Amino acid sequence: MADKLNELRTGKHAEESARTRLGSLWKELGLAFRGTDVDYTTVRLSRAILFLALPMVLEMAMESVFVVVDVFFVAKLGAEAVAAVGLTDSVVTLVYAIAVGLTMAITAMVSRRIGEKDPERASHTAIQAIYIGIIISVPISLLGISQSKNILHMMGASDSVVKIGSGYTAVLIGGSSTIMLLFVINAVFRGAGDAVLAMRGLWLANIINIVLDPCLIFGLGPFPELGVSGAAVATTIGRGLGVIYQIWILFRGRSRVKVKRRHLNLQVNVIIRLLRVSFGGVLQYLIATASWIGIVRIIALFGSTVIAGYTIAVRIIIFSLLPSWGIANAAATLVGQNLGARKPERAEKAVWKIAFANLIFLGIFSLVFIFFPEALAQIFTDDPEVIPHARDCLRFIAFGYALMAYGTVMVHAFNGAGDTYTPSVINFFCYWLFQIPLAYLLAVIVGLDARGVFIAIAVGECLLALVAILVFRRGKWKFHKI
For the stretch 193-225, pLDDT in tens is: 898 898 999 889 989 999 999 999 999 989 999
The whole-number pLDDT of residue 182 equals 93
Question: How far apart (Å, rounded) are the C-alpha atoms in residues 216 and 227?
Answer: 7
**Which residues have CB under 8 Å from 471's CB, separation 6+?**
410, 414, 422, 426
Expressed in angstroms, the distance from the first to the final Cα of the chain is 70
Of 26 and 180, which is predicted with more confidence?
180
Instruction: Show the beta-strand stretches assigned E in 123-192.
Output: none
Q: According to the model, what pLDDT value does residue 9 have?
A: 55
Q: Which residues of 293-308 are buried (b: 16+ CB within 10 A; e: fewer)?
A: bbbbbbbbebbbbbbb
pLDDT at 312 exceeding the cut of 70: yes
Question: Residue 19 — pLDDT band, cuts 50, 70, 90?
Answer: low
Q: Higher-confidence residue: 321 or 253? A: 321
The number of CA neighbours under 13 Å toward the Cβ of 166 is 15
Q: What is the pLDDT of residue 221?
A: 85
Q: Which of 3-12, 70-79, 356-365 has the lowest mean pLDDT?
A: 3-12
Report, in this order, helix, strand and coil percent for the chain, each rounded to 5: 85, 0, 15
Report whether pLDDT(5) > 60: no
Kindly report the length of the chain.
482
Provide the pLDDT for residue 216: 93
The confidence band for 40, taking pLDDT boundaries of 50, 70 and 90, is: confident
DSSP string, 39-106: -TTTS-HHHHHHHHHHHHHHHHHHHHHHHHHHHHHHGGG-HHHHHHHHHHHHHHHHHHHHHHHHHHHH
380 vs 385: CA distance, rounded Å: 13
Please name which of 300, 324, 315, 336 lies closest in space to residue 381, comparing C-alpha atoms.
315
Q: Please tell me the predicted confidence (pLDDT) of residue 1.
A: 54
What confidence tier does 320 reach under pLDDT thresholds 50, 70, 90? Answer: confident
CA-CA distance, 300 to 302, in Å (whole number)? 5
pLDDT at 14 over 80: no
Q: Model confidence over 231-268: pLDDT tens digits? A: 889 999 999 999 999 999 998 867 888 888 888 888 88
Q: What is the mean pLDDT of the chain?
A: 87
Specify the pTM.
0.79
Does position 12 have pLDDT exceeding 70, yes or no? no
CA 124 to centroid of chain Cα atoms: 25
Is residue 190 pLDDT above 60, yes or no?
Answer: yes
pLDDT in tens, 366-393: 999 999 999 999 988 888 999 999 999 9
Interatomic CA distance for residues 87 and 6, integer angstroms: 70
Contact 249, 255 (CB under 8 A): yes
Please check the confidence at residue 396 and state whether its pLDDT lies above 90.
yes
Average pLDDT over residues 441-449: 93
Residue 150: per-residue pLDDT = 85
* Average of per-residue pLDDT across 336-359: 94
In 219-343, which ranges are continuous DSSP H helix? 228-252, 268-299, 304-340
